[in-house]
Structure 1
Amino acid sequence: MLAARLGCELPEATTPPRLEEINLPRPRIEAPPKLGRILTDEPFERASHTYGKAFRDVVRALRRDFSAAPDLVALPKSAGDVAAVLDWCAAERVAAIPYGGGSSVVGGVEARNLEGYNGAVSIDLRHLDRIVDIDRVSRAALIEAGIYGPALEDALRPHSLTLRHFPQSFEFSTLGGWIATRAGGHYATLYTHIDDFVEALDVVTPAGHSKSLRVPGSGAGPSPDRLMIGSEGTLGIITRAWMRLQDRVRYRASAPVRFATFVAGARAVRELSQSALYPTNLRLLDPTEAMTAGAGDGSHAVLIVGFESARYRPDEAMERALACCRDLGGQVAEGAGRTKEAGEERGEDAATAWRRAFLGAPYLRDHLAVAGFISETFETAVTWDRFEAFDRAVRERVGEALARICGTGLLSCRFTHVYPDGPAPYYTVLAPARPGSQLEQWDEIKAAAGDAVIDAGGTITHHHAIGRDHRPWYDRQRPE
């Protein structure tokens, strides 16, 4: 279907590699006896820690290129183990690469650019996966950094608590990774990033152990937590964190709203973002995005509006939000937005179709890579006064690049998060690749997208992080 939509032949598919087909480079370093129980050079561990989940990572794995494999993988079971590995790395001039779930899409876990180092160790925190303490009164928990999203929620469920941070990588990413990369999550407004849920951090650094004071807020100088949140492992390794929790949701209301154009929908989103209603879900899909998600037929934009609460029915808030949408040209189906209680069947509509497509997108991306297509996403944020011109400029620049590099392609956009002063647009690229040139074409498209975003005045990332892939544009964005 995609080949037909793009007007191209179906590209040549590639078979994923088996472990025995992978030619790993010989380790350049050896584990010292005192760390033998922590460090391993086992081929499966080295291969599985070579890449994250960026499109270029998938393509290089399909090409059987594992030349960037770490020399060793560390599997610490305590903060003391982490400190011992960092001490050894510092003494032997070995690059230390923190590894959570390996879901980075920006080259954040790859042993690349190692000039001056004798080797590289990937430090996997999967054994630090416990909830250590729960403070039900303050509604917070002390949680180890290596716990994966589903396990975290399963452990909190018996206490009727939830973190309610659900990035697209939820199944395959960890608490420590979310904090280190300033991950965006479930809430489209208000609590948009993991930052909002961090109460205190324990971090192991090359200089020692840092433990911040657990308080609800502080004005005592620069925040040590803010320094670590988003540092992407460059300053230390987060081993555990006190996290603010919430009561489990009892009431939900969701409604799809149709708009004639993406711009019309964006203007409604701006009004809602400045209304102090703070919808949990406020995702705007352009016509192409709506169609590919099964939420529309490609003739209109779709806005997904949702509210949820642990205590109160959100009927009034939903009524006000839908009234705002209608005033600005939105079409709302009769009966849409009805509140449902936990356990009640949600039914099938554009909102549930979008949610299913959202959770399945990473799997689809991998299948597209195997099938010989190019799939890329890039996200940003920009103020409302510049958004419409920004969107036009990005679509024009990236559209020209797709025509030049691939001959054709699809470019779509949605809002993942929204603020009173601007949206976070998220663009998706789909295009056919020439046999053997998939990675090189992706590199060109990635460069064109990064240049377009920075030249038009957006940030190089809203929630994907910097890693190695975004570093050239981060250097243009950051203050001198």
Structure 2
Amino acid sequence: MADSSTPTVRPLESSRNRSWWGWGATDQALPDAECIALGSLVPGAVQTPLPVPDVAALALPTVRVEAPRALAALMSSTPRDRASHTYGKAYRDVIRALSGDLAPAPDQVARPRSELEVIDVLDWAAGADVAVVPYGAGSSVVGGVEYRADRHRGVVSLDLSALDQVLEIDRVSRAARIQAGALGPGLEAQLRPHGLTLRHFPQSFEFSTLGGWLATRAGGHYATLYTHIDDLVESLRVVTPVGVNESLRLPGSGAGPSPDRLFLGSEGTLGVITEAWMRLQDRPSHKASATVLFDDVHAAFEAIRAVAQSGLHPTNCRLLDPGEAALAGVAQDSRSALILGVESAHTPVGMRLTELIGLARDHGGTLASTAPESADAAADTWRSAFLRMPYLRDALARMSLITETFETACTWDRVPQLYESVRSRLSDVVRDVTGSAGTINCRFTHVYPDGPAPYFTVIAPGRRGEEVAMWDRIKSAAMQILHDLGATVTHHHAVGRDHRPGYDRQRPEPFALALRAAKTALDPAGILNPGVLLD
């Protein structure tokens, strides 16, 4: 389908006007007036938004390393390229960018057009003591693309967005070989003519890449079954400083530890994922959704557990607690909302949805829509709010409001305690840090037969100039609370640098020894994304 040896050279910046400091596209960001209106809804908010700096006026650090002549055509050190590759999109990233603090900016942004050029960049960097930070589309919310080590002679951001092709399709096995730099929409556009889909739709779908999903073990569209990108992988091709690792393409294997599992979730510390064979599906033609409301959130917990353990495998199964449901405009009057969706490429899904609604009703739920086979207005409202939320977060950040999200997972027997303890204990922390209890909401993004993945959102007034320090205190407390409750530090946001303290507490020491040994063996010069997962 495409010849990877003859890539098309494109400018470093995407043709769409991407924001260098915040989420997504600049034409979707909220204007000042809307930022002010949004901030006015939170007591204690400041009155004026932080201005967005002009890239040309930024005080970027001096470039320490120049591109070697052989790689000069791949590299850029323009202010916009360096600024847009400094941070990911976490709250603390947005605040620092708005404040003009770009101290960690890379010296160069490399955009290889082939795997061979990836190898050339790594070979040069290893010999020149230059750190390499792999970069898909920069949507990390855990400090995954920010250099903080301060011990290398220079830093290169390795932008893989030029490696964006579906190279081969096996229609018989329903799989495709795809380059790691493919953005979600571009990937799906190349599969659509074949009637196929990867159907992995994280919230960041429009602004994230296949390689980023694989390197961070991203969670996607499916709330049950295919929840993580791991479930869709047949094999990986990874460039490491000591050679190329390509696993055998198989539907499954019992031949020792899986080589793919070593690189899935490795976040660019062990190698650079350049290609993957991915399992595909026929495009769904039957879809239905419904929303069920609950007066008691704990009854909703029991209902969603029954759904998760039923074997009916809904595609969408999102539970919004009263605060989250009100914020999304799905439900009011302190009611929780369970959004259910089913789909199929082959058979009608109405009966399956009816069974799921019946399970929810058995636990006190009330159907919000009386026509399960029709478009569900509440689900549509939630979907629109879900996709718009990152832009609203940026608007809140410009008003110096503290907005933090963190997700976790635990077994069903611990859900009630985790939900109540997190909200109670974190509320005390937020009050101590900000002077206000703020708002703490929760939704379940993915569910398994043995437990859910709760996702918490915190909103509270901040003090201008102190936002990052306040966020850090709340983030640190949240990680400690999750650890105390036996829940994971992250379900699908990855570790990066922001989750390192929680990951270090969670990770068994024998495994840490093995991971350090793998790092030493695969990256002997220690150039790949220093500080992520390991010191």
Both structures adopt the same fold (TM-score exceeding 0.5): yes
User: Structure 1 residues 194-203 or 25-34, which shifts more?
Assistant: 25-34
Matches within 5 A, 1:199-210: 199-210=234-245
Amino acid of the residue matched to residue 406 of structure 2? F
Amino acid of the residue matched to residue 426 of structure 1? Y
Q: Indicate which of 375, 383, 386 corresponds to 1:358.
A: 386
Report the Cα distance in structure 2 between the residues aligned to 1:383 and 1:2, rounded to whole angstroms.
36
Does residue 15 of the first structure (1) align with residue 51 of the second (2)? Answer: yes
Q: 3-state DSSP class of the match of 2:73?
A: coil
Unmatched 5+ stretches in structure 2: 1-36, 510-535
Amino acid of the residue matched to residue 332 of structure 2? D
Aligned to 1:369: 397
Aligned to 1:439: 468
User: Structure 1 residues 38-47 or 372-381, which shifts more?
Assistant: 38-47
Matches within 5 A, 1:181-200: 181-200=216-235
Q: Indicate which of 474, 479, 501 corresponds to 1:450.
A: 479
Contact 1:11 1:434 in 2 (8 A): no
Aligned to 1:144: 179
Q: 3-state DSSP class of the match of 1:36?
A: helix
Aligned to 1:26: 62
Q: 3-state DSSP class of the match of 1:255?
A: strand
Amino acid of the residue matched to residue 427 of structure 2? G
Deviation of 1:145 (Å):
0.5
Contact 1:390 1:457 in 2 (8 A): no
Report the Cα distance in structure 2 between the residues aligned to 1:172 and 1:366, rounded to whole angstroms.
15
Aligned to 1:380: 408
Amino acid of the residue matched to residue 427 of structure 1? F
Aligned to 1:86: 122
Deviation of 1:406 (Å):
1.3
Contact 2:223 2:316 in 1 (8 A): yes
Amino acid of the residue matched to residue 388 of structure 1? P
Report the Cα distance in structure 2 between the residues aligned to 1:49 and 1:177, rounded to whole angstroms.
14
Aligned to 2:10: none
Q: Deviations over 1:300-359 (max 9, x none)?
A: 000001100111111221111111111110111463421x5xxxxx3x621111111111
Q: Deviations over 1:161-197 (max 9, x none)?
A: 1110000000100000000000000000010000011
Deviation of 1:5 (Å):
5.0
Q: Indicate which of 275, 297, 318 corresponds to 1:283.
A: 318
Deviation of 1:114 (Å):
2.6
Aligned to 2:445: 416
Contact 1:40 1:73 in 2 (8 A): yes
Report the Cα distance in structure 1 between the residues aligned to 2:112 and 2:39, rounded to whole angstroms.
46
Contact 1:11 1:433 in 2 (8 A): no
Does residue 101 of the first structure (1) align with residue 137 of the second (2)? Answer: yes
Contact 1:212 1:224 in 2 (8 A): yes
Aligned to 1:343: none
User: Structure 1 residues 63-72 or 30-39, which shifts more?
Assistant: 30-39
Matches within 5 A, 1:296-307: 296-307=331-342
Aligned to 1:156: 191
* Structure 1 vs Structure 2 CA RMSD: 1.2
Contact 1:11 1:432 in 2 (8 A): no
Deviation of 1:45 (Å):
1.0
Contact 2:85 2:138 in 1 (8 A): yes
Does residue 225 of the first structure (1) align with residue 254 of the second (2)? Answer: no
Amino acid of the residue matched to residue 16 of structure 1? V
Contact 1:261 1:286 in 2 (8 A): no
User: Structure 1 residues 432-441 or 464-473, which shifts more?
Assistant: 432-441
Aligned to 2:532: none
Q: Structure 1 residue runs of 4+, over 4 Å off?
A: 1-5
Report the Cα distance in structure 2 between the residues aligned to 1:229 and 1:9, rounded to whole angstroms.
41
Q: Indicate which of 65, 76, 100 corresponds to 1:40.
A: 76
Contact 2:39 2:396 in 1 (8 A): no
Report the Cα distance in structure 1 between the residues aligned to 2:439 and 2:39, rounded to whole angstroms.
11
Deviation of 1:2 (Å):
5.5
Q: Indicate which of 289, 310, 329 corresponds to 1:294.
A: 329
Q: Indicate which of 394, 397, 402 corresponds to 2:430.
A: 402
Report the Cα distance in structure 2 between the residues aligned to 1:334 and 1:306, rounded to whole angstroms.
13
Amino acid of the residue matched to residue 112 of structure 1? R
Deviation of 1:447 (Å):
1.1
Aligned to 2:492: 463
Unmatched 5+ stretches in structure 1: 341-345
Q: Deviations over 1:335-391 (max 9, x none)?
A: 3421x5xxxxx3x62111111111111111111111221111000000011111111
Contact 1:256 1:336 in 2 (8 A): no
Q: Deviations over 1:46-92 (max 9, x none)?
A: 11100100000000000001111001111101111001111111111
Contact 2:166 2:176 in 1 (8 A): yes
Instruction: Report % sequence identity.
Output: 57
Contact 1:383 1:421 in 2 (8 A): yes
Deviation of 1:3 (Å):
5.0
Report the Cα distance in structure 2 between the residues aligned to 1:335 and 1:136, rounded to whole angstroms.
40
Deviation of 1:120 (Å):
0.9
Deviation of 1:444 (Å):
1.1
Q: 3-state DSSP class of the match of 1:210?
A: strand
Report the Cα distance in structure 2 between the residues aligned to 1:219 and 1:162, rounded to whole angstroms.
27
Q: Indicate which of 238, 242, 252 corresponds to 2:287.
A: 252
Contact 2:167 2:178 in 1 (8 A): yes
Q: 3-state DSSP class of the match of 1:446?
A: helix
Contact 2:483 2:489 in 1 (8 A): yes
Amino acid of the residue matched to residue 76 of structure 1? P
Matches within 5 A, 1:299-378: 299-333=334-368, 335-338=370-373, 346=375, 349-378=377-406
Deviation of 1:9 (Å):
4.5
Contact 1:254 1:336 in 2 (8 A): no
Amino acid of the residue matched to residue 357 of structure 2? L
Amino acid of the residue matched to residue 374 of structure 1? I
